[in-house]
Structure 1
Amino acid sequence: MMMTINSINKFFWTAIQKNLSFLTTRNNAFLLLGLLLFISCNKNEDLNIKSLKTPTGWGYYITNNDKIIIKQTVIPVISENKSFKTEEEAMKVGNLVLQKLKHDLSPTITKKDLFLLAVKI
């Protein structure tokens, strides 16, 4: 009975090898090239930032291939729901978030970031 199991396993392994034998070195190269192109296309995100006028001030939004991925209408990290006082402040914070995204970092903002960017809270 054990011999039957082993021969079945060998049969499937042989069948797999035969089915994969069509992959030549040339085909492997094309497969690898296609995979690299796919990865590079996904990595080259088209990230953009634009300012946003709110009823109480300014905000920003970040898009990836024209799809909004972050819309920030209030100053992050503070307990109040206040918009940025100026467009320049909103864009400073937005550009920091954008750079973090481009470097595969968390886009979170801290109070220290706000202080370093001279954002008035």
Structure 2
Amino acid sequence: VLAEQVGGKGGPGYVEETAMAVLEKARMRQNHMDEIERARTEMEVKGGIAMRDSIHDLEEKIEESEAKREKRLMAMRDQLRENREERMQKASAKVALRRQRQLEEFQDLMERRGGRM
């Protein structure tokens, strides 16, 4: 019956040979499918590892970027503080200079009038 199914004519040992050939072909096909599945699994594992490494690299880059940004912000705050202190010193110096001039003008005025302070 098997010989008829595979299109053979029969003969001594023909059925066994045909059956062995069919089994060998099935075994080769199964081995091929197993190999494909192993390769697919390996690719998925490597892909997962690569993805994990990629995510880790991105996390490191984000942390580095945040650290740089924080450093720049701190430098900007320091610069603003220095600028503010400098402006306050200049303003204080201007006020002191203005008071000094006012005092000198008052003294000149008093001297011209002949009076004392």
Into which bin does the TM-score normalised by the smaller protein fall?
Answer: under 0.3
What TM-score does the superposition give when structure 1 sets the normalisation length? Answer: 0.25
Structure with bigger strand share is 1
Structure number with greater Rg is 2
What's the TM-score, normalizing by structure 2? 0.26
